[in-house]
């Protein structure tokens, strides 16, 4: 492995805490990083961790999953079938800012004299809390406590409580509660220099179509200029103080604010609760959305702040009850970071209903908020085995865009359906096809996750109602894409594709793609046959809808059975593609650290010409298709590919770590594990300011469960083979296996399996069958048999 | 070969004429086509064949070679090393329009009642002439004769003579002589949907920095907004009539005009001569350029119209004297078309001093006026063997951008120099690297032309002063780009490149590239050694400047000697690249005619996945590197590749035709020849409205000389092997061979070689040596030996 330098933020300012991310001193240079780290969201609405006052800021951000503006994609030279329309997650109007003035002195963190400061992301309860004591230039001490939350229970609701006490004097207080429609600074319109960042729009993307003001409430209706999506945003306030002597509204083009003038008596708390709601739609009338905003706000105020917080606690305790991973190593930071990763995945996924999960969740606008294969391959396993209902929602979203995938297949001259490499609304939005549309493997990735979901949950109804149809049209694409070349003796080849490793593009017979496509084809055959057996009525309906011909099933079988799997007998490895081994090995020795990530320092032609890997490809296949490789093949492949892998993608370390664990490379496994769980907090990639790497965070769960616990779920059979290495003292987690909740606790010596709920069930521990019974525990040795 | 339907414009309206292109009726639907066909230019300044009145028009166009505006290239997703700045040839202020009103009735061709109409491109004298008789709605008959020319002798000068007689009445005449700064219609700002068209700018690309008016003269100074290039444009008029009763200047933002009100007596000619000049610069003060304009105009007026026309005749007669091809076939159109092709190449090249030749010359703005390999491979041979001085200018232009090519090599992480795939100012301007920067072969193409030039002219001084330096840095690029792969036994491989065929991209060991690179490396070795032998002083200077190390020569030798040449023993052909034969053959049978060109109907991934060829690749290599293939190899390769070649590029037919002739496929050779010489006049590609295909026109010369006459110049030894097929009755042309002018005349039976000037010389005729002596002729039989 290439050694990535991991530099954690200083321990004295970011102390270790098992359930919180804490910052004890405001540091300007960590501000961009913290805006991401301290984000709160529920998968629908996300508030970036900007300071309450709005400034200073790296990027003020409020995001709504699936809410995008569209734009024509520019090409210097365009060709047939290139994606036409881009989509970019909108940074929506921002309602979270409350600006404070004391005796006309603005509270501004970088210059404020702070006697106390603590900001904490309370992961247990999904609250962002800040407490500080500010001494104004005139010596007045102001104690401020604020809490920010995006409600998990009430999807459209966010609440901020802002509590303020002048301890030692009276003072004139101004609280300016804002709704910012758009940034007033010059908008940037730039070509994207770092391909991983998002583009920006030239001008405000919204028209304001409606505004209502009444007492402490304001409601605004918006419509995006190009995509025509609509949004209502409402804000209401409850002020707890008797001393408001003036309250008025100020409007500017880019923002509106309600200004409260308050006379603060010494040591007498002032409390403002700000209720925020968003309702969005593809096309609904903003007036209707505004009515919904009115109702959400009224309900929230009726319930009151305390009930909303209590509900948040209940919701989150249910989450942690099933999803928490307790892990003990010599480094206490590991426990905190494990939860940090799980928490952010949860925040990205919990209420993502009818959408996917953006590459950076709702914490930043990198990658334009697009959905990639990240969701299915890196995030879904966690949800499948802890909150399968959410996994189902995400797979159902893919079904909802199946028609667009069919259209896309036509656009690239293929039959069946081709899921977009990156999208929000289902249309391909990749502007560089070599590392976009050419990654046909996304079809198989989604189908892989579908199969895993059904195997883990036995939700055959989902397979029948949504899954089979997707399997049919993805299988059709593979069959049409590949071919039985002349003289290949029935071998099925797939040419001109790009695998997961984007440092190699448009190759023939990418191992990962061929093997995953084979799985896709087999699963299609099986699912169609099962539907026919189990539900002839549904089967007939599907036949009609998809015009499926019996010969197609035969074709898929033939293609799957004949699938060509590249193997080099001499090297005893699986080549990543037909040409991979013919390339020169990258000159790693003479590549200084400053040249990484390579994609920012070498032309694609140079990268494509060498054996150098951005992210696990063959190694990824070995993780996903575990049972299709012998232990010897795994070792040979891993030994060959691991040193070639730069890890320039955050999606790489988890598969490498899991395979290292399986192969008994304990030190390496530990390093990948640490690397993986620290990616965001330690900002390993240097770009966490643009948002959290949700897939890598899902990878942290994979690393723990598939890596350390050695969980395997080949073909729906569940087994464990713990690899705690020298560094994990204790690991405890729960999985939902076919409706049964199983708690698993392991240490260096033994593993205890306890079934919390459900009926008798058999799993395997290190090859040995273990019969689980309700409310009972079984303890197994971790020593070699 | 794929049968291209060739539909010629109707013979009755475009009658055959050996020296002119004639149109006898104004037809709206041929207007876009005619604007290209009737263009006049001298290689520096080009006037598109717009009607004198300016409207109707498809594209009003006036172009200056090398005069461009720049813009940032947009990428939906950008990566390291992508070209940053685009360049686009500017459609410069247009001074050629003279609008006519008779009794306030505007003369407008589409509705005018014409009693007579003839427009003719006089190719012999390089004049565009129009004569027509217009009957106005009130029955007045107006005889108009106009002549438009761009002077060959006086590079910065164009002249229009407009002659008008009202035959049967008196009339009030208005002549409005315009200088149009920019189009007043809405500017189009569009992504480029057809990759072969040029982009447009959003707003006028110029600022007007200066204006002067005096009597009949106006001078304007301009500066482009982004590239900062400067231009002076001057116009002056001489009016031959006594009856101008009013003359005034009208200015608008987008144009200025001098309006002449004339009282026309019956049958009394009115003559206006409009002198137009352009001076341009990278950065000179527009005032200086305007002064130059003043001088050019004053000189022109001093000389007078007649002398300028006389000089044009002399200049052109010199050209035709050496460059004409007389060809007799059963179709008299062939003679006309042959001259049409030669004439347009000449117009594109004659005064292209310090620049290259744009893909469409100065006849249209397609391909943004960029210089490609077209110049060296398709146009230069004609010039080398007829006007070597011009060939030298064009090669010297390449030397002038050598430093930028060095910079470009660095940008794509390579040593040496990499010439840009498309450029005006020397910087890479290709926005799609797979069919742009990846075409490294342009390095070898330029060096191939250099060698041909030196071999044909013995201009070793040019080699010493400019050539060797280019050879060194192109050889360096090849050596750095390729590698001796492990286990290849000293074979030198070149990976990750695109050959001439753009339906296949980024491949390993493209045959064309490898063979041309080998030639490049060998020529570098030879040239350095010759310089050392012949001119030790220059050699030492060059060593210092290029820091050449003796080991480098050894390396180049090793790479050239070890160059891997793909050959498939079973198929007995040279594969186009390592993977070409593994691809499925395109399903030509089920591809309807409407799907051609394929690039406008199939995604690149689909094209890249198949054996389907846009333009000759292996066949091109066989033409250029004739002596490196055995006759049997040529036949095997041609038979294999020709049916796979769509000819979707206009650059394809000439190499295919030449090889077909050599192989004795007479019918095929004829078809390719006809296809090639008719590409523009018959608008075979459907896009001649955007400009003439100058390279294909150069290809017409290649087809005649290398194809029909069977000329070969391997390593500077000249030979002929006539292939007149059944269709050429007579062919006559001249070549300049090492300073000797040789006239060659052949028919079905025999070939006569006559040396017009120069010393004794030996050539080969069908393998037999022929000794040529000054002023003597030798006649050889064309019958097989």
pLDDT, tens digit (0-9, with 9 covering 90-100), for A649-689: 999 999 999 999 999 999 999 999 999 999 999 999 889 99
Q: How many CB pairs under 8 A join A and B?
A: 161
Q: How far apart are CA A214 and CA A195, in angstroms?
A: 45
Residue B496 near chain A (CB below 8 Å): yes
CA dist., res. A292 & res. A231, Å (int): 10
ipTM of model: 0.90
* A267-304: pLDDT as tens digits: 999 999 999 999 999 989 999 999 999 999 999 999 99
* CA-closest candidate to residue B343, choices B122, B497, B526: B122
Return d(Cα B650, Cα A664) in angstroms, integer. Answer: 60
Q: Which of A412, A599, A603, A611 to mutate to test the interface with B (most CBs of B within 10 A)?
A: A603
Indicate whether A199 pLDDT > 90. no
Listed in sequence order, the residues at least 6 apart from A362 whose beta carbon sits closer than 8 Å to its beta carbon are: A39, A41, A43, A45, A46, A63, A64, A65, A347, A348
Q: How far off is chain A from B594, nearest CA to CA, in Å? A: 15
pLDDT band at B184 (very low <50, low <70, confident <90, very high): confident
What residues in A contact B411, CB-CB < 8 Å? 603
Are A765 and A719 in contact, with CB atoms under 8 Å apart? yes
CA torsion B603-B609-B610-B615 (nearest 10°) is 60
- DSSP SS3 for A208: strand
Provide the strand spans (E) within B92-216.
98-102, 105-106, 113-122, 127-135, 141-150, 157-166, 171-180, 206-214
Other CB atoms within 10 Å distance of the CB of residue B215: 9
Question: Which residues 72-131 of B have a C-beta within 8 angstroms of A?
Answer: 72-83, 86
Residue B188 has pLDDT above 70, yes or no: no
Residues pairing with B765 in the sheet: B720, B768
What is the 3 state secondary structure string of B612-644? Answer: CECCCCHHHHHHHCHHHCCHHHHHHHHHHHHHH
Alpha-carbon distance B299 to B37, whole Å? 30
Q: Give the residue from B71, B77, B368, B412 with the most A CB atoms within 10 Å of its CB, the best one to mutate.
A: B77
Query: Closest approach of chain B CAs to the CA of A107, in angstroms?
Result: 40
* Residue of A502, A552, A555, A670 marked active site: A502
B548, pLDDT greater than 60: yes
Task: Give the number of residues written for chain B.
Answer: 785
E-strand ranges in B181-254 read: 206-214, 217-224, 230-240, 244-251
Look at residue B315 in the predicted model and tell me its pLDDT.
98
What pLDDT, on a 0 to 100 scale, did the predictor assign at position B189? Answer: 32
pLDDT above 70 covers a percentage of chain A that reads 97
CB atoms within 10 A of CB A345: 28
Q: In the prediction, which pLDDT does B241 show? A: 85
> Given pLDDT bands bounded at 50, 70 and 90, which one contains residue B7?
confident
CB A497 within 8 Å of CB A507:
yes
For B24, the token pair is 């006898």
- How much is the average pLDDT of B733-761? 96
Residue whose C-alpha is closest to residue B517's, from B494, B488, B496: B494
Count how many Cα atoms sit within 13 Å of the Cα of residue B684 in the half-sphere of its side chain.
23
Interior/surface letters B331-346, b for 16+ CB within 10 angstroms, e for the rest: eebbbbbbbbbbbbbb
For residues B606 and A720, give the distance between their C-alpha atoms in angstroms, rounded to a whole number: 44
* CB atoms A80 and B506 under 8 Å: no
The pLDDT assigned to A185 comes to 61
- Assess whether pLDDT exceeds 70 at residue A410: yes
Asked whether the predicted pLDDT for residue A196 surpasses 70, the reply is no
Interface test with B, best of A76, A497, A566, A591 (most B CBs within 10 A): A76
Q: What SS3 state is found at B302?
A: helix
Lowest mean pLDDT among A402-416, B183-197, B500-514, B629-643: B183-197
Distance from CA of A559 to the nearest CA of B (A): 16
Q: Is the pLDDT of residue B193 over 50?
A: no
* Both structure tokens of A40: 């709160």
Is B618 in contact with B574 (CB distance < 8 Å)? yes
pLDDT at residue A190, as a whole number:
37
In the predicted structure, residue A590 carries a pLDDT above the cut 50: yes
Mean pLDDT of chain A: 95
CA distances in angstroms from B39 to A60, A442, B74, B688, listed in the order given: 57, 52, 32, 12
CA A517 to chain centre: 24
Closest by Cα among B744, B770, B774 to B759: B774
Asked if residues B502 and B597 have their Cβ atoms less than 8 Å apart, the reply is no
Q: Give the number of other CB atoms < 10 A from CB of residue A646.
A: 23
Per-residue DSSP letters for B57-68? -S---EEEEEEE
**Which pLDDT score, from 0 to 100, does residue B202 have?**
59
**Residue tagged active-site, from B294, B387, B428, B502:** B502
- Is residue B185 annotated as a catalytic residue, yes or no? no
CB contact under 8 A, A432 and B600: no
Q: What is the pLDDT of residue B192?
A: 39
Residue B498 Cα distances to A603, B367, B442, angstroms: 15, 19, 10
> Measuring CA to CA, how many Å separate B594 from each of A377, A516, B19, B299, B585?
42, 36, 35, 54, 19
Among the residue ranges A178-192, A387-401, B196-210, B246-260, the one predicted with the least confidence is A178-192
Closest CA to B501 of B355, B615, B380, B399: B615
Chain A window 438-477: which residues touch B at a Cβ cutoff of 8 Å? 438
Residue range B762-776: average pLDDT? 95
Name the residue among A79, A431, A584 with its Cβ closest to that of B604: A79
Name every chain B residue with its beta carbon within 8 A of the beta carbon of A603.
79-82, 411-413, 433, 437
Please check whether residue A495 is in contact with residue A604, taking contact to mean a CB–CB distance below 8 angstroms. Answer: no
Q: Say how far residue A418 (Cα) sits from the centre of its chain.
A: 22
Distance from CA of B727 to the nearest CA of A (A): 40
Q: Is B189 on the interface with A (CB under 8 A)?
A: no
Rg (chain A; Cα; Å)? 27
Q: What average pLDDT does this structure show over B381-393?
A: 98
pLDDT at B578: 94
DSSP state of A568: B
Helix (H) or strand (E) holding A765: strand A761-765
B200 touches chain A (CB under 8 A): no
Please state, rounded to an integer, the average pLDDT across all residues of chain B.
95
**Range name among A198-207, B317-326, B639-648 with the lowest pLDDT average:** A198-207
3-state class (DSSP) for residue B264: strand
Average pLDDT for residues B542-568, to the nearest whole number?
96
CB hemisphere CA count around A473 (13 angstroms): 26
| Span between the terminal Cα atoms of chain B, in Å | 31
Among residues B33, B24, B23, B36, which one has the least CA distance to residue B63?
B36
Query: Using a CB-CB distance cutoff of 8 angstroms, which residues of chain B are in contact with residue A86?
Result: 76
Minimal CA–CA distance to A701: which of A656, A754, A654? A654
Per residue in A131-181, pLDDT (tens digit) is 999 999 999 999 999 999 999 999 999 999 999 999 999 999 999 999 999
The answer to whether residue B619 scores a pLDDT higher than 90 is yes
């Amino acid at each position: 492995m290439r050694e990535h330098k991991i530099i954690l933020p200083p321990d004295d300012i970011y102390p270790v805490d098992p359930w919180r991310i804490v910052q004890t001193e405001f540091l300007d240079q960590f501000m961009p990083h913290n805006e991401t780290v301290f984000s709160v969201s529920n998968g629908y609405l996300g508030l970036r961790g900007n300071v309450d006052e709005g400034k200073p800021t790296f990027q003020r951000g409020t995001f709504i999953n699936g809410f995008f503006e569209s734009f024509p994609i520019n090409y210097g030279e365009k060709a047939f079938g290139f994606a036409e329309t881009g989509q970019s997650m909108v940074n929506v109007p921002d309602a979270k800012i409350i600006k404070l003035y004391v005796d006309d002195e603005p509270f501004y963190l970088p210059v404020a004299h702070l006697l106390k400061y603590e900001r904490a992301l309370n992961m247990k309860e999904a609250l962002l809390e800040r407490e500080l004591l500010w001494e104004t230039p005139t010596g007045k001490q102001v104690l401020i406590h604020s809490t920010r939350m995006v409600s998990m229970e009430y999807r459209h609701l966010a609440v901020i409580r802002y509590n303020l006490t002048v301890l030692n004097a009276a003072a004139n207080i101004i609280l300016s509660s804002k709704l910012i429609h758009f940034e007033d600074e010059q908008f940037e319109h730039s070509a994207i220099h770092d391909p991983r960042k998002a583009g920006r729009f030239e001008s405000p993307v919204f028209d304001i179509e409606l505004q209502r003001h009444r007492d402490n409430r304001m409601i605004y209706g918006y419509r995006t200029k190009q995509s025509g999506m609509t949004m209502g945003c409402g804000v209401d306030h409850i002020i707890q103080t008797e001393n408001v002597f003036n309250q008025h509204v100020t409007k500017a083009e880019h923002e509106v604010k309600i200004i409260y003038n308050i006379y603060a008596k010494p040591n007498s708390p002032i409390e403002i609760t700000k209720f925020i709601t968003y309702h969005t739609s593809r096309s609904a009338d903003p007036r209707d959305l505004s009515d919904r905003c009115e109702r959400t706000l009224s309900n929230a105020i009726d319930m009151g702040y305390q009930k909303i917080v209590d509900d948040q606690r209940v919701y989150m305790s249910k989450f942690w009850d099933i999803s928490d991973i307790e892990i003990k190593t010599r480094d206490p930071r590991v426990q905190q970071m494990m939860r940090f990763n799980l928490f952010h995945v949860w925040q990205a996924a919990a209420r993502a209903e009818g959408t996917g999960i953006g590459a950076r969740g709702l914490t930043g606008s990198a990658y334009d908020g697009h959905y990639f294969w990240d969701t299915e391959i890196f995030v879904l396993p966690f949800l499948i085995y802890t909150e399968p209902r959410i996994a189902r929602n995400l797979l159902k979203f893919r079904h909802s865009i199946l028609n667009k995938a069919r259209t896309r297949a036509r656009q690239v001259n293929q039959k069946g359906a081709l899921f977009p490499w990156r999208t929000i609304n289902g249309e391909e939005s990749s502007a560089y096809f070599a590392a976009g549309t050419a990654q046909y493997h996304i079809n198989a990735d989604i189908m892989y996750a579908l199969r895993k979901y059904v195997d883990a949950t036995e939700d055959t109804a989902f397979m029948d109602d949504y899954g089979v149809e997707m399997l049919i049209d993805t299988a059709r694409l593979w069959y049409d894409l590949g071919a039985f070349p002349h003289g290949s003796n029935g071998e099925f080849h797939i040419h001109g594709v790009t695998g997961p490793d984007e440092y190699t593009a448009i190759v023939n017979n990418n191992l990962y793609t061929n093997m995953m496509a084979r799985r896709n084809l087999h699963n299609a055959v099986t699912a169609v046959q099962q539907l026919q057996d189990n539900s002839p009525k549904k089967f007939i309906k599907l036949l009609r809808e998809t015009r499926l011909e019996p010969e197609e099933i035969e074709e898929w079988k033939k293609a799957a059975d004949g699938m060509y799997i590249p193997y080099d007998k001499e090297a005893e490895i699986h080549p990543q593609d037909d040409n991979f081994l013919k390339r020169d090995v990258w000159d790693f020795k003479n590549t200084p650290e400053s040249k990484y990530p390579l994609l920012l320092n070498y032309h694609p032609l140079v990268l494509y010409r060498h054996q150098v890997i951005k992210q696990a490809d063959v190694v990824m296949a070995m993780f996903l298709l575990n049972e299709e490789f012998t232990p010897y093949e795994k070792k040979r492949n891993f030994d060959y590919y691991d040193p070639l892998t730069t890890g320039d993608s955050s999606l790489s370390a988890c598969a490498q770590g899991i395979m290292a664990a399986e192969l008994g490379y304990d030190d390496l496994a530990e390093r990948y594990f640490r690397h993986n769980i620290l990616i965001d907090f330690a900002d390993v990639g240097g770009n966490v300011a643009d948002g959290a790497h949700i897939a890598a965070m899902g990878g942290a769960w994979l690393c723990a469960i598939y890596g350390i616990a050695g969980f395997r779920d080949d073909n729906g059979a569940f087994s464990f083979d713990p690899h705690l290495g020298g560094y994990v003292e204790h690991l405890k987690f729960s999985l939902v296996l076919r409706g049964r909740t199983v708690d698993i606790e392991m240490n260096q010596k033994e593993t205890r399996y306890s079934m919390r709920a459900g009926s008798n069930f058999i799993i395997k521990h290190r090859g040995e069958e273990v019969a689980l019974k309700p409310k009972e525990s079984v303890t197994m040795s971790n020593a070699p048999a």
